[in-house]
Amino acid sequence: MTKIFHEIRDPIHVFIHLDWYEKKVLDSRPFQRLRNITQLALTYLLYPGATHKRFEHSLGVMELASRVFEVITKPTNVTDEVKGLLPDLGNADALPYWKHVLRMAALCHDIGHLPFSHAAEEELLPKGWTHERLSRSLIESDEMRAIWKSMVPRLDPEDIVKLAVGARKAKDLQFSKWEAILSEIIVGDAFGVDRIDYLLRDSHHTGVAYGKFDHYRLIDELRNLPSFEGSSEPALGINGGGIYSAEALALARYFMFSQVYYHPIRLIYDRHLMDFLSAWLSQGTLLPVGTFPIDIEGHLKTTDDEINAAMRIAASDAKAPGHHAAHCIMRHCHYKVLYERDPQDAKLNSEPGAAIARAAEIEFGKDPVRYSKPKVKDVATDFPVRGRDGRILAAISASETLSKLQPTAMEYVFIDPQLKDKAKTWLGKNRDKILAAAGEQEDQDHEA
């Protein structure tokens, strides 16, 4: 007899339940491919436990999205004011449809990821392409459409796309207030379950305990609220009683970024990986243009496995394209930190690391120097809080802790280990001069 419901054991959420249609998505080629895409790229070279995959993360996101949906649509958690802002909450017949859409969107939100997740995305996809756009192509592919079409009620792929990638990445689509809220459940800056799952899961696998927080309490206190007192715009907010767990989430994110995601050694391995991929792809192995494939079949064929095998061969063949980068990765002889952004230097020049990297390239050549400026992460304190007296407060007004959190700018310049001592001496002598000269050029229209 065909099983209607399935359950999967998970180290974070214990059991994840799937229905028959979700199992079909699980068994599809795009989803099974995620078994071979590491969540944290080469982070396992620093944190050996970090070998987990996008596969289990996507299941976790579905589980959490479902829990949030149940909480924020529960009639006792919806005030009349919010019903006025979001009439969909009163449409009991439509809610099961949207729950299906939300769960499918959560399952599929990462299916467009390239090998090694984010490490090579910006540089190695054709202009205008992102992993979200690839996810969208896959959700709208014939293979996946057949599943959406077979469902009762039938799911509209555009609805799944909206919730899976959000307004930031689906700029051509118009979002109703309800769709915007549902997409926030998955990809939202403040309480998106993508973020909640990856913090918990990455923390578990890296062994870095900072990423843990009381997500049970957090989810239980989430509510649809007006963005601010009297606003016509609803947002995913929290009851005052949940503010401590929201603080813990923000702190977990802060620590995980500083300790794991933006750890300088992880950043330099990303650079080495990108160097290898640029060289490897330029051979025309996948596409002659030197980018990752964006057609569905090409995408489905490319996972970490193919890259790892190629890297292993290139590392031991001095003539192979990308040999040096592959060697740095496989033999753990990564470039070393020459310079780390100092806030005082940033008073002289907005991007002191970039200025030093340019000067180092002139001094030592391009090959031994690498520069990394990870994207500044918003601290995501822009959400409403319902105080005990029923008033809507801004999060930084409701929490002293959140009001103190600031985003952090980071920059690193790396140097070939063989040149480290020489480069340190050079930098010691020239640092102030480099920064002052670069600062004077900032207001010019073009890069000097």
Partner 1 sequence: MKHSQRAALLTLLNREMLNRGSWCGETHIQKAAFFLQDLLGVDSGFEFILYRHGPFSFDLRDELSSMQAEDLLELAMRREGYGPTYVPTPFSETFLERFPRTTARYLEQIRFVAAELGDKAVAELERLATAFFILDREGIVDLKRRALRLVELKPHISLPEARFACEQVDSLIERARPFMLEEEE
Binding residues for partner 1, rule: CB under 8 A, are 167-168, 171, 174-175, 180, 227-229, 231-233, 343, 346-347, 350-351, 375-379, 381-382, 391-394, 396-397, 403, 406-409, 439, 442-445, 447
Give the nearest distance from C-beta 237 to partner 1 in angstroms. 12
Distance CA 62, CA 17 (A): 9
- Give the shortest CB-235-to-partner 1 separation in angstroms: 8
| Amino acid in position 431 | R
Residue among 171 and 429 whose Cβ is closer to partner 1? 171
Closest distance of CB 95 from partner 1, Å: 20
- Distance, C-alpha 13 to centroid of its chain: 20
Taking the complex as a whole, the smallest distance from the CB of residue 387 to partner 1 amounts, in Å, to 9
Q: Is 128 exposed, middle or buried (0-12, 13-18, 19+ CB in 10 A)?
A: exposed
Q: Which of residues 311 and 395 has its CB atom nearest to partner 1 in the complex?
A: 395
CB of 410 to partner 1, least distance (A): 9
Q: How far is the CB of 377 from partner 1 (least distance, A)?
A: 7
Min dist. Cβ of residue 178 to partner 1 (A) = 12
HEC string of the chain equals CCCCEEEEEECCCEEEEEEHHHHHHHCCHHHHHHHHCECCHHHHHCCCCCCCEHHHHHHHHHHHHHHHHHHHHCHHHCCHHHHHHCHHHHCCCCHHHHHHHHHHHHHHCCCCCCCCHHHHCCCCCCCCCCHHHHHHHHHCCHHHHHHHHHCCCCCCHHHHHHHHHHHHHCCCCCCCHHHHHHHHHHHCCCCCHHHHHHHHHHHHHHCCHHHCCCHHHHHHCEEEEECCCCCCCEEEEEEHHHHHHHHHHHHHHHHHHHHHHCCHHHHHHHHHHHHHHHHHHCCCCCCCCCCCCCCHHHHHHCCHHHHHHHHHHHHCCCCCCCHHHHHHHHCCCCCEEEEECCCCHHHCCCCHHHHHHHHHHHHHCCCCEEEECCCCCCCCCCCEEECCCCCEEEHHHHCHHHHHCCCCCCCEEEECHHHHHHHHHHHHHHHHHHHHHHHHCCCCCCCC
Residue whose CB is less far from partner 1, 142 or 400: 400
Complex with partner 1: residue 50 or 357, whichever CB lies closer: 357
How far apart CA 100 and CA 326 sit, in angstroms, is 43
Q: In the complex with partner 1, which residue's Cβ is closer, 275 or 411?
A: 411
Task: Pick between residue 168 and residue 366 the one whose CB is nearest to partner 1.
Answer: 168
Nearer to partner 1, 173 or 294 (CB): 173
Nearest CB to partner 1, comparing residues 2 and 406: 406
Q: Give 150 or 403: the residue with its C-beta nearer to partner 1.
A: 403
Q: Find, among 310, 341, 315, the residue nearest to 411 by Cα.
A: 341
Nearer to partner 1 (CB atom), residue 46 or residue 396 = 396
CB of 407 vs partner 1, minimal distance in Å: 4
CB of 397 to partner 1, least distance (A): 5
The least CB distance from residue 443 to partner 1, in Å, is 5
